Amino acid sequence: MVNIGQDLADLWSRLPPLTLSIAILIGIAPLLFVQVIYDPFWYVANTLSAWWVLAFILFIMIGYFSTYVFYLKGESSPDLGKVAGVIAVIFFVLASIVMHALNYQALLPEKWFKWHFREMYVDTSGGSLHAFQLPRFLHFMIPAFAMTGILFMLYAWYFKEREDFDKNYLSWVGSMGAKLAFIASLIQAGVGFWWLLSLPPKFNFMTNPFFLLALLSGLILLAFLYKAQSDPVKNAIPALILSFVVVLLMSAAREALRVLYIAEVNYSVSDYKVNLDWGSTILFLLTFIMGLVVISYQLAVAFYSGRSSKVLEETPTLAKWGNLSIILLILWILIVGGLGIIITIKNFLM
């Protein structure tokens, strides 16, 4: 058990730098979207805690650097690796606390005046975090353990066809993952009700249809993860799909809750005037589709490369997919570059 646990730890030490890079990349667009449609709230929340906004970037940088030290030096210098791992966890938790506080402060405009104007002076230091709600914070953090458990299940499923992987090892990883996912989801359900009871009664959020959908999906996932204990490998893909649906529905419920908060100051996103530009909209959608095709090809190659211990031989389907990706990239460069040149010349002539 010690050996297979060490094997798993060695492999998983490679993941943090990669997964963090993906998380940052994926998180940029939603953050920019929030800044656009909730700008008054996000701007004030950041201004009130300006130093912490800057510290957030520093926390991410230190944590990110520490994951590389943990990965690169963990085997040759175990003590250094352990210290780097602890540092990474500490600074990532600090970053999550800052992000939670900033988002929560944005939901409480009725308290901004009190935070900015103290008893005898105006606080322009930006050195305080003014709002923190433990159940809300935990409701964002605990799901990470559940998703890690499902990732373990997927790991066991993915490598089950490999001849060079011990079946007992994969079975242990899958079972551990299923237990972790179920226990974390069970705790998450309890924390979720704790958060629900802490919400302002005037919102009456228990009857909100988005909350009820999220609740129903969460209970279904919990029941499925309990059932998945019997065969974690077989249930890995359904668990992934179901957890993805649950996350989407919970995100919708949290957005519905945000709308209730900001409605207290008569603010609504629907009041924004929309000036639709079909040209840029179509270009954006086509770029998005092109990106899906290209990224899907790369993911497919990575998927089939690791599924077998043998060297991947390109199939006719993969070859056509790769050629299509190259053609789409060339077309995209020509179209976007051409539009840029045309617009530049047009503006110059005007």
What is the number of structural domains in the chain?
Answer: 3
Q: Which domain-ending residue is among 130, 152, 169?
A: 130
- Residues 227-246 have a mean pLDDT of 94
- Given a cut of 90, whether residue 62 has pLDDT beyond it is yes
What is the rounded average pLDDT of the residues 58-65?
A: 93
pLDDT of 138 higher than 80? yes
**Domain shared by 142 and 178, yes or no:** yes
Together in a domain, 12 and 125: yes
Query: Does residue 78 or residue 91 have the better pLDDT?
Result: 91
Q: Closest Cα to residue 251, out of 216, 214, 218, 219?
A: 214
What is the residue-averaged pLDDT of the chain? 88
- Kindly report, residue by residue over 258-275, the tens digit of the pLDDT: 999 999 999 988 888 888
Give the model's pLDDT for residue 298: 87
Task: With a cut of 60, say whether residue 98 has pLDDT above it.
Answer: yes
pLDDT of res. 2? 43
8 Å CB contact between 76 and 119: no
117 and 156 both lie in a single domain: no
Domain boundary among 92, 108, 130: 130
pLDDT of residue 216: 96
Q: Average of pLDDT values for 218-243? A: 94
Q: What is the share, in percent, of the chain residues with pLDDT greater than 90?
A: 54
Higher per-residue confidence, 246 vs 34:
246
Helix (H) / strand (E) containing 257: helix 236-263
Kindly state the average pLDDT of the residues 213-223.
Answer: 95
Q: Which residue has the higher pLDDT, 306 or 103?
A: 103
Q: 80 and 203, same structural domain?
A: no
Same domain, 139 and 251: yes
Residue 120 has pLDDT above 90, yes or no: no
pLDDT of residue 313 exceeding 80 = no
Residues 234 and 333 in one domain: no
Same domain for 266 and 138: yes
pLDDT of res. 207: 93
The DSSP symbol for 199 reads S
Together in a domain, 114 and 145: no
Mean pLDDT, range 118-141, rounded to an integer: 88
Do the Cβ atoms of 250 and 211 come closer than 8 Å? no
Q: What is the pTM of this model?
A: 0.85
Select from 247, 274, 301 the last residue of a domain. 274
- Name the residue among 334, 313, 316, 336 with its Cα closest to residue 324: 316
Task: Check whether residue 153 and residue 180 sit in a common domain.
Answer: yes
Question: Which residue range(s) make up the domain with 13?
Answer: 1-130
CA-based radius of gyration for the chain: 24
Q: How confident is the model at residue 1 (pLDDT cuts 50, 70, 90)?
A: very low
| 78 and 120 housed in the same domain | yes
Domain identity same for 212 and 253: yes
Q: Does residue 137 share a domain with residue 125? A: no
